[in-house]
Structure 1
Amino acid sequence: MQSVIFNNASQQTAERFSKQGAHMLRVGLQDGDDVVARAGSMVAFEGIVEFDGEYQSQRQHHSQHMTGEVLPLMRCFGQGTVYLANLAQHVHVLDVDHEGLTVDSSYVLAMDAHLHWDVVSVESQYGIPGVGAYNTLITGQGKVAITTSGSPLVLRVTPQQLCSVDADAVVAWSSSLRVQMQAQTSSKSIWRRRGNTGEGWELNFMGDGHVVVQPSEMLPPQQTSFGQRLQFQQGAGPGLGQGGAWGPR
């Protein structure tokens, strides 16, 4: 059998986390060196690999229940290689240091099992309880794989170069950044979108770090099952918090 499809054969590498094409993650597993991944994201594996539901602490479970920032995870362990993907989104591998990374849980694909995660929030500039949003803070030293809808834009933020991002397009950012949520509006009610521009909440970033923005304000279909029509969510809520310093690859 001959075909150009065989150009997409598995790419052997010594790296633990590596991209298999633009839309798939390849993770090498050894005994005692587990990885946690988005539940249901396995598309293939080689060797002796097992999967189990990931334990969540009482704090993590409570935070997800109260905020709606849900990160469903499974543990992958054994000896072999596992391939992960989510809705053919673009995959990116980040090196996270001890300060951590803040990311919308919808775009977390996998991470080293020894990393810690929790839900964090940022309030709006108006200081109104409940006006703000929630993201996932990942801390420790290790690798995290995230996804984006399309090729992302990475903005460099410095004390001299601030940036503002649509809250529905932001994916992740560095913890070294100060984040403020605001809505530029002339309406008497801050709950209304500004004018007829179609723009809503935005995040202002200050400090020294990076911000990842995807070319889409659409969240991918979530929690779909066989026989159900895939539904996209528009403006399902901005993602925020205090995140970590990281290095994109």
Structure 2
Amino acid sequence: MQSPLFNYGEQQSQERYAIQNPQLLRVALNGSDDILARKGAMVAFQGLVDFDGEYQSPNQRRRGQVTGESLELMRCSGQGTVYLANLAQYIHIVDVDRDGMTVDSSFVLALDSGLHTEILAVDSEYGISGSGKYQLNITGQGKVALMTSGQPLMLSVTPEKYVNVDADAVVAWSTQLRVQMQAQTQSTSITRRRGSTGEGWELSFLGQGFALVQPSEVMPPQNAQIGGGLRGQFGADGQNRNNAWS
């Protein structure tokens, strides 16, 4: 059999995390260090690999329900190679250091099992669409695989140059940055988007670090159904109800 499809063979790499292609992650397991991946993200694997749901304590489940910031993971262990993907999103590998990284859990594909995660509140008395009032903080030393809709923009934040980003487009930022939600709106109601511009809540970053933004204000909805109706627009669980998807 002959086909141009055979040009898309496996990429050989000595790295634990490697980009098979821009939308597919290759992870090598050596039998000692497990990884945690988004539930259902495995598209293929080779070798003796086990997949198991990652346990969440009652307190963790309760915090996820209250804050809406919850990351359901599976543990991948054994010896072999695992290929991970989610809705053809672009994948990026990040080395987390002791300073930590704050991220919307919707954009996490996989991470080293030795990293620590906790839910943090963003400084505002109001909730915002998309990004949410709460975020996931990741600390320790290890790697995280993030997803974006399209190729992202990395913005540098310095004491001389602060950065404002749309709350629906931000993916992650340096934990040490000072963050404030704001809506510079002429509207009499803060719950409405800014006047007639279509712009609403934004995050303002100050300090020294980075802010990562994707070129989209919405991720494809999980479990979306083709066609019209709420399930086609927001996904089966309505997770994108604050955004427009077409």
Whether TM-score is above 0.5 comes out as yes
The answer to whether 1:10 aligns with 2:10 is yes
Equivalent residue runs for 1:90-169 within 5 Å: 90-124=90-124, 127=125, 133-169=133-169
Are the counterparts in 2 of residues 96 and 142 from structure 1 also a CA contact under 8 Å? yes
Deviations along 1:170-197, one digit per CA (max 9) or x if unpaired, are 0111112111000011233322222100
More moved, 34-43 vs 187-196 = 187-196
Structure number with higher relative contact order (C-alpha < 8 Å, ≥ 6 residues apart):
1
Structure 1: gaps of 5 or more residues: 237-249
Shift of the alpha carbon at 1:134? 1.3
Shift of the alpha carbon at 1:98? 1.8
Partner of 2:82: 82
**How far apart in 2 are the matches of 1:209 and 1:94?**
14
Partner of 2:233: 231
Are the counterparts in 1 of residues 171 and 214 from structure 2 also a CA contact under 8 Å? yes
TM-score after normalising by structure 2: 0.89
**How far apart in 2 are the matches of 1:215 and 1:80?**
34
Are the counterparts in 1 of residues 226 and 232 from structure 2 also a CA contact under 8 Å? no
Partner of 1:215: 215
Q: Please give the root-mean-square deviation of Cα atoms over the aligned residues, in Å.
A: 2.1
Deviations along 1:134-164, one digit per CA (max 9) or x if unpaired, are 1111111000000000000110111111110
**How far apart in 1 are the matches of 2:91 and 2:206?**
26
Partner of 1:24: 24
Identity of aligned residues (%): 60
Q: Which amino acid aligns with 2:149?
A: S
Partner of 2:57: 57
SS of the residue aligned with 1:60?
helix
Are the counterparts in 1 of residues 95 and 143 from structure 2 also a CA contact under 8 Å? yes
Shift of the alpha carbon at 1:101? 1.1
**Could you list the runs of 4 or more consecutive aligned residues of structure 1 that deviate by over 6 angstroms after TM superposition?**
225-228
Are the counterparts in 2 of residues 60 and 119 from structure 1 also a CA contact under 8 Å? no
Shift of the alpha carbon at 1:235? 3.6
Structure 2: gaps of 5 or more residues: 235-239
